[in-house]
Amino acid sequence: AKYIPFILLCILTISQELFAQIEFTYQSEYSYLKGRDASSIPATWMNPGFDYSAWPKGKAPFRYGNGTGGTEIADMQNSYTTIYLRSTFICSEKDQIKEITITTDYDDGFIIWINGLIAVRDNAPATPLWNSTAPLNHESGTGVTFTVSAGSLNLVDGINYIAVQGFNVSLTSTDFYLDVEIHAEKNLPQLSDTAGIEFSV
């Protein structure tokens, strides 16, 4: 019986160690700008210091033609091919994070920046502009997960900035969809059992 408090302490410690250090979920809120309104957007729009306070707000997914919920952008067809998103997430104990996972459900392409650095991109143009298009079709419905080294990003303890540019395949495309989630946990050290297993009566 005297070992029960010690066991409970170990369980609580492990639970705390496994607690997510970054948890940015699907259906999060963003500030957004439609591509047709971004022809003069500065090249630094994805950086932490950029002021996007005048942009309207909406929850992901940003979509039309498929999916449900979120922010419907039914005026995208025949009008603009890109959308710009800005939001923030909280990170704690960044030095304990080895990698982050980014899962994106998208139609047709995207680039994600974290604190101004490209974290991941897929089916996106080499030089993203306000009127760019995705090179190929990509259907939404199943999120694609990417693993990114935390050391390649400027993570900070506290508020971090996410910027996303989504690309449709053409002006006449019949659908568009974009949603993102980001997750990270502590990198737990690998400890060897030097004492071995002992039993007590």
Ordered DSSP codes for the chain: -TTHHHHHHHHHHHHHHTSEEEEE-TT-EEEEEEGGG-TT--TTTTSTT---TTS-EEESPEEESS--SSEE-TT-TTT-SEEEEEEEEEE--GGGB-EEEEEEEEESEEEEEETTEEEEEES--SS--TT---SS----SS-EEEEEEGGGS---SEEEEEEEEEE-S-TT-S-EEEEEEEEEEB-------SS------
Flag whether pLDDT at 6 surpasses 90.
no
Name the percent of the chain lying above pLDDT 70.
Answer: 83
Name the percent of the chain lying above pLDDT 90.
Answer: 82
pLDDT of 47-85, one tens digit each?
999 999 999 999 999 999 999 999 999 999 999 999 999
Question: What does pTM read for this prediction?
Answer: 0.84
